[in-house]
Structure 1
Amino acid sequence: MPDQFSARVRADFPVFERRIAGRPIAFFDGPGGSQVPRQVAEAMSDYLLMHNANTHGGFATSAETDAILTRAREAMAAFLNAPSPREVVFGQNMTTLTFALSRALGRDWGPGDEVIVTQLDHQANVAPWRLMAEDRGMTVHVLPFCTETYALDYDALAGLLSPRTRLVAVGAASNAIGTVNDVARVAAMAREAGGLCFVDAVHYAPHRLPDVQAIGCDFLACSAYKFFGPHLGILWGRTEHLERLTPYKVPPASNAAPERWETGTMNHEGIAATAATVEWIASLAPAQGGSLRDRLRSAYDAFDAHEQALFARLYAGLTAIPGVRVHGPGADGQRTATAGFVIDGVSPDAAARALGEEGVFVWNGDFYATTVCEALGLSDCGGLIRAGVAPYVSEDDVDRLVDGVRRLAGG
């Protein structure tokens, strides 16, 4: 039952002890950043209080730091199904890592070369490639999405690809309207054309367990703070790319991958907390046997069952309200449990503030998915209201959100 699962999850989150308007907070703001369980915060605190040091020193806390970083790479390799922990790069956030990678890739490209981005993506997977292309005199093509099905136009992709295509940048899921894209298909098409594929899995990773081997991409990035962790970015890249490319770094820094991609002293406490995040997710697996990857897969199956049941309830409730329109695939379509919607006559900002006063937290705006809102004709009216279902969301939370939207719509 959904509420039994959410109760098990919520027990690890101290924030549910807070009250607004006399009730626990209903957190639907997960697409902008999830809540954090006690175990993750304790891992960060433990590192800072008991192991804090820089790396590669000849003393205990430095050696402990090295071991913690190794453990975190191993945990994230299991999370991503990466062939090697040495393919896992940590950084400030996905956006910063993508800018760094785009600069390194751009060293080898120039006029006549082409890159493809999509109309469905967050700007973090558009702007770095556009700016790099501008610097290098390259051409940028945009793959559109269908505003009726909310899916990428894969037939159009075939027409955009050419022998001059150097990279296709695509999101695994839309952070604005929840569409899950067929990134394995995109990666295969890019590879057949002789290009690389970069996947933004920031919105995907909280809802579906990434698998870089199944996708067949060359690079994939995600953010731990979207899946119950600290503010930290993760980049996966194939070994041959991480070793061949020349990142921007200071000369004394290591020339070995992945360290050559990690500029300066890293956020060690955040990396320690990221390992704890992966292990916490695995602890929610109904069956605790097998490898870390096996337990993660089992936990995500439980996540999916919970989220889909509650999203069906949310979708049905919202779509039954006159004057409310939910954008994105249907409740049973290829989507995450994220609703981007509008209320006739009520601005998204006003709606989010009113719901927030009742202890129901949602986001509003374009969420940096500017081209999505432009395509849907929502840029001039404040964008969307966005509500995301997470494992800690309960049936009561969903009902409170639907009831609040009904009142705002005048129902």
Structure 2
Amino acid sequence: MTSAFPIDTVRAAFPALALTDDGVARCYFDAPAGTQVAGRVIDAMGEAMLHACANDGGHFRTSQAASAIVVAAHEAAAALFNCDADEIVFGLNTTSLFFAFASLLSRDWQAGDEIVLTRMDHDANVAPWLQAAADRGVTVRWLEWDRDSFEFRLDRLDRLIGPRTRLVAVGQASNFLGTINDVARVCAAARSVGAVTVVDAVQSAPHIAIDVRAVGCDILCASAYKYFGPHAATLFLSRALQGRLQPWKVRPSADTMPTRFSPGTPSFEAQAGTLAAIEHFAWLGVCAGGAAADAPLRTRLMAGFDAVNAYETDLMRHFLAGLATLPDVTLHGIGNANRLASRVPTFTFTLAGHESTAVAQALAARNIFCWSGYFYAWEPATVLALRDGPGAVRIGLSHYNTAGEVDRLIAALGEITSG
């Protein structure tokens, strides 16, 4: 394991990690569905509800405090995504935001137009566009993935994307397979024909640095509760695309950012919590990544993600080595230790002769938390014939997990498979 990573200090930043049940510590391996919340997030949300409990835009103290939260949260989200603050939209979650923008983006679609979706994405980045396409009589084309490499068949992009393509939606990392996708290449192909590009970064945001300029997308979204914050979402909306969209909104609402694409009063406490979650990564950049405390926020964030990536890579290697000792395990994703740079630490697998629900229940009885099923990943689970059957077990590693917790998990799985 990476000895320089201050895992004890990091774990102390998450109050929930200290909880026990009947003297048994909790092992949180459910991060892909929602991470534990950093203590600074809890504090920030409480402070906001105490000292900024008002609508923004007023002349009195609590309203001004709410306005300050809005400004700071948008600037922090911009640093996280490497964009400008007036290109950030806050919302309830990624699914809600994608449904909202599906109605805006599809207004001028016509029969005969096409969109491109993928067989790897979470349904949040599939169903909104499918439904919009059905409403407008638009053809849906599919980007498939290879069953051996667990990567997209990018060699087929030229045949999928053409002059009739209006939108291309793709996930940066799979919540089922764990694959990190070359979204920049997909977006470049879409951009060459003038198509709008939408990137789901929900599963990548907790693990790798995001740069929307490098990706070249029009929209990118991630949910803060997947990166140690509250139930809220941050969406990048390029300035160029903003000018082409007319949002549905109440008439008194300002037609400028950050209000223009907000359907109503936002949760200021959630914005405060999201700001604190982003600051957690910056703190990691200082305490684990060697960044100066007074360095620009983006610099500290990048250092934080470098530290997280190095630690989680070692943790992934440790997990895979343990998994290899178990009999009759099928891993649905990249398992080659030399290809870990191509995946996030989300592992989905099946145990021969054991229903996934029963495995998750047996782990829960040992105070080891994980999910079973197909995790809203309708398309990849269908490809693997796991959606209508027994489903699979999913383990998500995070930078607050330890090698000792992984050992405890592997030992428990060994007991389950032998018993």
Give me the TM-score of the superposition, normalised by structure 1: 0.97
- Structure 2 residue 156 is matched with structure 1 residue 156: yes
- Structure 2 residue 326 is matched with structure 1 residue 321: yes
- Structure 2 residue 293 is matched with structure 1 residue 287: no
Percentage of matched positions with identical amino acids? 42
- Structure 2 residue 311 is matched with structure 1 residue 303: no
Structure 2 CA distance for partners of 1:355 and 1:2, relative to 1, 3 Å: farther
Partner of residue 402 from structure 1, selected from 389, 393, 410: 410
SS at match of 2:260: helix
Partner of 2:39: 38
Q: Distance in 2 between the 1:91 and 1:19 partners?
A: 33
- Structure 2 residue 175 is matched with structure 1 residue 175: yes
> CA offset at residue 72 of structure 1?
0.3
Describe the superposition over 1:134-153 as per-residue Cα deviations: whole angstroms up to 9, x where unpaired.
Answer: 11111111111111111111
Partner of 1:362: 370
Q: Distance in 2 between the 1:324 and 1:20 partners?
A: 29
SS at match of 1:132: helix
> CA offset at residue 56 of structure 1?
0.8
Q: Is the 8 A contact 1:100 1:247 kept in 2?
A: no
Partner of 1:9: 10
Structure 2: gaps of 5 or more residues: none
> CA offset at residue 359 of structure 1?
1.3
Describe the superposition over 1:272-318 as per-residue Cα deviations: whole angstroms up to 9, x where unpaired.
Answer: 11111111210111323221111111111110111110111101111
Larger mean CA deviation between 197-206 and 107-116 belongs to 107-116
> CA offset at residue 320 of structure 1?
2.4
Aligned-pair Cα RMSD in Å? 1.3
Describe the superposition over 1:176-219 as per-residue Cα deviations: whole angstroms up to 9, x where unpaired.
Answer: 11011000000111111221211000001011111101111111
Q: Is the 8 A contact 1:6 1:394 kept in 2?
A: yes
Q: Is the 8 A contact 2:51 2:65 kept in 1?
A: no
Partner of 1:381: 389
Q: Distance in 2 between the 1:101 and 1:5 partners?
A: 41
SS at match of 2:388: helix
SS at match of 1:32: coil
Q: Distance in 2 between the 1:16 and 1:55 partners?
A: 35
SS at match of 1:149: coil
Partner of 2:206: 206
Once the two structures are superposed, the pairs formed by residues 215-294 of structure 1 within 5 Å of their partners are 215-285=215-285, 286-289=289-292, 290-294=295-299
Q: Distance in 2 between the 1:283 and 1:145 partners?
A: 37
Partner of 2:379: 371
Once the two structures are superposed, the pairs formed by residues 55-204 of structure 1 within 5 Å of their partners are 55-82=56-83, 84-204=84-204
SS at match of 2:243: helix
Q: Distance in 1 between the 2:69 and 2:201 partners?
A: 24
SS at match of 1:244: coil
> CA offset at residue 319 of structure 1?
2.4
Describe the superposition over 1:314-334 as per-residue Cα deviations: whole angstroms up to 9, x where unpaired.
Answer: 011112211111111123321
Q: Is the 8 A contact 1:242 1:257 kept in 2?
A: no
SS at match of 2:21: coil
Q: Distance in 1 between the 2:352 and 2:262 partners?
A: 47
SS at match of 1:65: helix
> CA offset at residue 50 of structure 1?
1.2
Larger mean CA deviation between 258-267 and 390-399 belongs to 258-267
Q: Distance in 2 between the 1:399 and 1:185 partners?
A: 38
Describe the superposition over 1:210-260 as per-residue Cα deviations: whole angstroms up to 9, x where unpaired.
Answer: 110111111101000000000001110111212330122122212113311
